[in-house]
Amino acid sequence: MSYQHPNQPPPAREPDGHGQQPPQGYPVQQAPQGAPHQPYQASYGGPAHPQQRSAYGSHLRYAQAPAPVSVAPPSEQYAPSAQHGWVAAPARRHPRRRVVFEILLLALGTLGVLSFVAVTALLFGVGNSVVATFFSLIPLAIVGFAVLWVDRWEPEPRLLLAAAFVWGGGVAVWLSSLMNEPFGTALGSSLAPSMPPEALPAVFGAPVVEEFWKGLGVLLIFLIRRRHFNGPVDGIVYASVIAAAFAFVENIQYLSSAGDQMAFTFILRGLASPFGHLIYTACIGVALGLASRHKSKLAWLWMMPIGYLGAVLLHGAWNGAASFAGGLGGLAAMLVFLNWLPLVIWAIILVWLRKKETQLLAERLSDYVPSGWLVPQEVAMLTSMQGRRNAKAWAARGGPQAAAAMKSFQKAAVDLAYARQDLYTGHTGIRARQDEMALLETIGRTRAQFKTALGV
């Protein structure tokens, strides 16, 4: 199979006063290396016209793209060219995407969620369980909107997020409920024999057992779907989805069994501390996210235990304080220092991580500027949420297909940056190189689609 080169420049046209101005975030381009300024139609998203090639990129090949020596440049076969020739198309990316892992996890987890809620209804009454489920949806919505806001930068596969959700709400909840009491009693009796026996499962069992099963879900995604685990922010997203589902199902159980104390329990768990489980399990997500950026493929073997220890300590501190806090003063201090303060700290860390992700995206995409696959204005647009929105609005003027092409262009470019990062870390060299070639083809093709629709 062959295809016309994706970055073939469009036919020259005379400015007609329409479509010449780029959207906000796409400033009018100044051609590099002192070349004359080009109209937006001629210079946006591709190399200069053939007659101006000597001024823009004719002597630049991928072999000269800025990159460490350890990262091999892409083949020159795929470098942009102004020639109107035909080249062999790279292999399609994910020709038949395998989703066996997600389907198995969805089936097992969904069965777990439904069966646990059914058992809760049998034990505490259907009416109580229905009311408890309704109230539990409120903190789930709060956490869910926060997670989706974080995930909008580089959205994870929805099927994988759904699998993570039912792992947390089904598998992790069931196994934790079966193991918390016996494990906590055994461990607590040996470590704190003077502690009241009824407090042992909460203080020693729940932190160790629950964080293990939630963390195992994050680890499985890391090991089996490494392609979609691109750093600490991704780790936080997956960990948060698992933790949110765990808290949702756990809240149904707690509220159903609370009786007359349902309102108080809802305020404490659902409104005052909805991010509790997220705070704990995010430690594991960040640890595995850092491992994904480490040059050693086995970094998770020592980074995962560090994250797990942090999750257990935070969870144990909260449960211990909840078990022994006295009066409203103790409860307020517990909320402030063991829930709200850690949440603020995590928010600050997340903002910092997002900033680092933006820098990484800009650095990796800039590798493709000298060869003409991208222009600086596109890099600026792709590293700004406002720029992305403006670009989508601009492309939408060309109709739904142009808008869809711009969306695909943006997604492919972000994926390209992380495929490039994989080449730097050396984790998935051959696969990342194949992804890189296919994504470059997608970028050129989708750019041509929305430019054609817009007449630029």
Q: What is the pLDDT of residues 231-283, one digit of tens each?
A: 999 999 999 999 999 999 999 999 999 999 999 999 999 999 999 999 999 99
Retrieve residue 332's tokens.
């307020």
* pLDDT for position 5: 38
Average pLDDT over residues 176-190: 96
- Going by pLDDT thresholds of 50, 70 and 90, the confidence category of residue 431 is confident
Mean pLDDT over each residue of the chain, to the nearest integer: 82
Whether pLDDT at 37 is above 60? no
| Cα angle value 413/419/422 (rounded, 5°) | 150
Query: For 93, which DSSP code?
Result: S
- Give me the pLDDT at residue 435, please: 85
Please say if the pLDDT value at position 377 is more than 50: yes
Q: Out of 6-15, 65-74, 197-206, 214-223, which region has the weakest mean confidence (pLDDT)?
A: 6-15
Please answer whether residues 104 and 166 qualify as being in contact, where contact means their C-beta atoms are separated by less than 8 angstroms: no
The pair phi, psi for residue 44, each rounded to 5°, is -65, 120
| CB-based contact 268:338 (threshold 8 Å) | no
Average pLDDT over residues 318-345: 90
Helix, strand, or coil (residue 4): strand
* Per-residue confidence band for 429, with pLDDT thresholds at 50, 70 and 90: low
Band (433; pLDDT cuts 50, 70, 90): confident
Please give the pLDDT value at position 199: 94
Which of 33-42, 44-53, 213-222, 393-402 has the lowest average pLDDT? 33-42
Percent of the chain with pLDDT over 90: 70
Highest mean pLDDT among 49-53, 66-70, 104-108, 151-155: 104-108
pLDDT of residue 363 exceeding 80, the answer is yes
Which of these, 185, 244, 194, 238, lies nearest to 216 by C-alpha position?
238
Confidence of residue 428 (pLDDT cuts 50, 70, 90): low
pLDDT tops 50 at residue 43: no
**139 touches 270 (CB < 8 A):** yes
Q: What mean pLDDT comes out for the span 143-160?
A: 92
